[in-house]
Amino acid sequence: MEMTQENNNHSWAVENNQVEIMGKIASQFTFSHQVFGEGFYMVDVLVKRLSESEDRIPVMISERLLDVTEDYEGEYIHVMGQFRSYNRHEEKKNRLVLSVFAREVEFVADDDENMKSNAIFLDGYICKPPVYRKTPLGREIADLLIAVNRPYGKSDYIPCICWGRNARYASAFQVGGHVLIWGRIQSREYVKRISEEETEKRTAYEISVSKLEYVD
């Protein structure tokens, strides 16, 4: 998967975190936050899997890229950017919130097969010991948490899931180890218990890894 930037104006930090998705806009824009007078808005994009199921991926878009007062639901959009995380404090603990930060967007036909519908490349570091397990059906899985550096000392923390041979390989990775990861963003619904009587349906996001390399 080649997703290098065309010009050299982008900093190195963009090169180590590259996302490309194409899918159908499935929500209105909701205001997220403002930085130096520039408003950022969230919108959900439905991206098809090969299996015909879909991933619902949250995308953060600047009001300078699109008219966020318009209703684009049902339109198809191609987004290039980065996968970012931040900690949201709730229920007395921090929750990792993930979304695609859009750098470039364009509207497209829904059958444009020249575009990657869901691809990500990460160059980062293992920040906690991998968790290796087998499912009841014997499928091997390893969960990784990758720190991907941004400029100015910030990092994005991105959960990744490896399968089969890759899971076995990743299970031996050391904290601090340098890894390159290629894959796709996937969404997964789960039920969170809030209290004895109350539960809430939530969505988790992670990278389903198709290829990885241990650099160090």
Confidence of residue 79 (pLDDT cuts 50, 70, 90): very high
pLDDT band for 12, please (50, 70, 90 cuts): very low
- Top-confidence residue, 216 or 12: 216
For 117, residues 6+ apart whose C-beta sits below 8 A from its C-beta are 21, 22, 23, 47, 48
CATH 3.40.50.300 corresponds to the domain 121-214: no
DSSP string covering 152-201: GG-EEEEEEEEEHHHHHHHTTPPTT-EEEEEEEEEEEEEEEE-SSS-EEE
Using the predicted structure, report yes or no on whether residue 40 has a pLDDT greater than 70. yes
Coil, helix or strand at residue 14:
helix
Q: Which residues of 187-202 are buried (b: 16+ CB within 10 A; e: fewer)?
A: beeeeeeeeeeeeeee
Rounded to whole angstroms, how far apart are CA atoms 1 and 210? 11
pLDDT of residue 89: 74
pTM (2 decimals)? Answer: 0.87
pLDDT of residue 155: 94
Please state, for a pLDDT cut of 70, what percent of the chain lies above it: 90
Retrieve residue 199's tokens. Answer: 């539960």
Q: Which pLDDT value is given to residue 14?
A: 62
Residue 9 has pLDDT above 60, yes or no: no
Write out the two tokens for 214.
């241990």
Domains 12-118 and 121-214 share a fold: yes
Contact at 8 Å (CB) between 77 and 26? no
Determine the topology of domain 12-118 in CATH: OB fold (Dihydrolipoamide Acetyltransferase, E2P) (2.40.50)
The number of angstroms, rounded, from the C-alpha of 215 to the middle of its chain's C-alpha atoms is 22
Amino acid at 61: I
- Residue 75: per-residue pLDDT: 95
Q: What average pLDDT does this structure show over 153-172?
A: 95
Alpha-helical runs (H) found in the chain: 12-15, 164-170
Q: Of 96-100, 103-107, 115-119, 160-164, which range is least confident?
A: 115-119
Of 183, 141, 181, nearest in space to 163 by CA: 141
85-101 pLDDT, tens digit each: 988 777 677 788 899 99
Tell me the domain boundaries of the chain: 12-118, 121-214
Mean pLDDT, range 16-23, rounded to an integer: 95
Q: To the nearest whole number, what is the mean pLDDT of the chain?
A: 88
- Is it the case that residue 187 has pLDDT exceeding 50? yes
* C-alpha to C-alpha distances, 210 to 1, 55, 56, 122, 182, nearest whole angstrom: 11, 17, 19, 12, 6
What amino acid occupies position 117?
Answer: S
Average pLDDT of span 112-129 = 89
Pairing of strands 155-163, 199-214: parallel
CA gap 119, 21 in Å, rounded:
6
